[in-house]
Amino acid sequence: MKMFKMAAVLAASVALPSVAGATDLEVTHWWTSGGEAAAVAEFAKAFDATGNKWVDGAIAGSGDVARPIIISRIMGGNPMGATQLNPGKDADELIKAGLMQDITDLATKEDWAHLLRPKSQLDSCTVDGKVYCVPVNLHSGQWMWTNRKVFTDLGMTPPKDFNELMADAPALQKAGIQPLSLAQGWPVGLLVQDITVALAGVDNFVKVYKDRDIGIASGPEFTKVFEAVAAARQYAPADKMVPQWNEAIGLVIQGKAAANIMGDWAGGEFQVAHMVAGKDYDCLPGLGITPVLNTGGDVFYFPKSADPKITEAQLVLAHTLVTKEAQLAFNLKKGSLPMRADVDLSAANDCMKKGLQILDHSTAVFPNDSQMMDRDSLNQISDLMTEFMANTDMTPAQAQAKFVDIIKNAPK
């Protein structure tokens, strides 16, 4: 019954090839932590309800591991039915090579341009006026997460921002608590980026990452950032770094660490642990210093297939991902904001409410790094920050000079 209903909705909204029968669609993504797995299961459930079958192609180990695997499979002629990527430049080469399905007709018929917000997300899916992906959420990277009990047990007040955390850090350390947990790889880059946005401000961050303003990158606002990172190094030492971002959040959940800096997807882990935002833990956008959101997030692309049944199932999936029901169920578990403004968010937790408030205040919303710079340059920055955090002999001035070189050489 449900399948007929879905077919009728689609037939009314977009011309689909008329191929009958259920289709298995392999969907790749890197959602393997507790919160992420719970969230993506909602998409799988919604797609299965159309009569098709979501064949889960989860790739463990975060986007850095998954992205090259996804891209090389498509390039190499072994495409999946659909895949997660981030909004931005990651699929540019695949689109140029004609390997991705154009879903403009569906996007137009369903009026995604008005249905989905903010505009930046659909813009990121659009190349030369054609839509190639469907944005499923708005995920922002600039959050600090703290375990309240860690502080109150020590007779301390939970910090309201990163500066207060740094002031508390010596006392926490003395009590055997790691002030700041950290995971290896991209989370180090994210930590530094979040400190940059908080201390140098959104405008300067965008001027450097988007406009490649070397004067600002080498100037005092950024010197302040590198100095703050150097001061934070002792509280998140290299020998205490854990392999994965969710393990670092796990240390905060278990009360072994006081805080972590991570995107709002961390909220899913606290939910799985049955902790309540604003009671058991705090989520502080912009590290509590500059409340901001960026327009990061996740999108799904649909590699071209010679099989018309796959093509049809891809359109059914694209449609399903933006339905009210799927948007709500997925985003509540994921810790991200839904793409549609017309979903009932009465069940939103404190963190999501804070995010929605910022989203309505559009000046505090700025582009994700992947929307401004190519992945190779971003990886170079991440590697540099990893070296800077781990090597206490590297001075802030040396790190800043290397950073400026990467910005200078990043392709526009």
The C-alpha atoms of residue 222 and residue 225 are separated, in whole angstroms, by: 5
Closest CA to 241 of 381, 375, 387: 387
Q: Are 208 and 367 in contact (CB under 8 A)?
A: no
Q: How far is the CB of 187 from ligand GAL (least distance, A)?
A: 9
Residue span binding ligand GAL (CB under 6 A) among the ranges 30-38, 44-52, 188-196, 225-233: 30-38
Nearer to ligand GAL, 250 or 296 (CB): 296
Nearer to ligand GAL, 172 or 182 (CB): 182
30 binds ligand GAL (CB under 6 A): yes
Q: How far is the CB of 7 from ligand GAL (least distance, A)?
A: 30
Q: Is the dihedral of CA 150, 152, 153, 159 positive or negative?
A: positive
Structure tokens at 346: 């009465």
28 binds ligand GAL (CB under 6 A): no
Please give the order of strands across the beta sheet that includes 133-139: 53-58, 24-29, 82-85, 296-301, 133-139
Structure tokens at 148: 């309240």
Q: What is the DSSP string of 314-371?
A: HHHHHHHHTSHHHHHHHHHHHT-B-SBTTS--TT--HHHHHHHHHHHSGGGEE--GGG
Please give the residues from 176 up to 205 whose contact with ligand GAL meets the rule CB under 6 A.
none
Query: What are the backbone angles phi and psi of residue 265, rounded to the nearest 5°?
Result: -65, -20
Q: How far is the CB of 245 from ligand GAL (least distance, A)?
A: 6
Out of 151, 205, 265, 301, the residue judged to bind ligand GAL by CB under 6 A: 265
Q: How far is the CB of 179 from ligand GAL (least distance, A)?
A: 23
Enter the DSSP assignment of 277.
B
Structure tokens at 280: 């058991």
The C-alpha atoms of residue 231 and residue 388 are separated, in whole angstroms, by: 11
86 binds ligand GAL (CB under 6 A): yes
Nearer to ligand GAL, 62 or 295 (CB): 62
Dihedral angle computed from the Cα positions of residues 223, 229, 230 and 236, in that order, rounded to the nearest 10 degrees: 180
Out of 27, 28, 31, 216, the residue judged to bind ligand GAL by CB under 6 A: 31
Please give the residues from 59 up to 78 whose contact with ligand GAL meets the rule CB under 6 A.
62-63
Q: How far is the CB of 298 from ligand GAL (least distance, A)?
A: 5
Q: Measured in whole angstroms, how far is the alpha carbon of residue 343 from the centre of its chain? A: 21
168 binds ligand GAL (CB under 6 A): no
Total site size for ligand GAL, rule CB under 6 A = 11
Q: How far is the CB of 248 from ligand GAL (least distance, A)?
A: 11
Nearer to ligand GAL, 86 or 386 (CB): 86
Residue span binding ligand GAL (CB under 6 A) among the ranges 29-37, 324-332, 374-382, 393-401: 29-37
Cis peptide before 118 (omega within 30 of 0): yes
Nearer to ligand GAL, 36 or 168 (CB): 36
Nearer to ligand GAL, 84 or 380 (CB): 84
Structure tokens at 154: 């020590």
Q: How far is the CB of 334 from ligand GAL (least distance, A)?
A: 7
Question: Could you give the string, one character per residue 341-380, with x where binding to ligand GAL holds by CB under 6 A and - elsewhere?
Answer: ----------------------------------------
Length in residues, the chain: 412
- What's the Cα-to-Cα distance from 151 to each of 123, 172, 217, 234, 350, rounded to whole Å? 43, 8, 36, 19, 20
Q: How far is the CB of 22 from ligand GAL (least distance, A)?
A: 28
Q: How far is the CB of 62 from ligand GAL (least distance, A)?
A: 5
298 binds ligand GAL (CB under 6 A): yes
Binding site for ligand GAL (CB under 6 A): 30-31, 36, 62-63, 86, 139, 245, 265, 296, 298
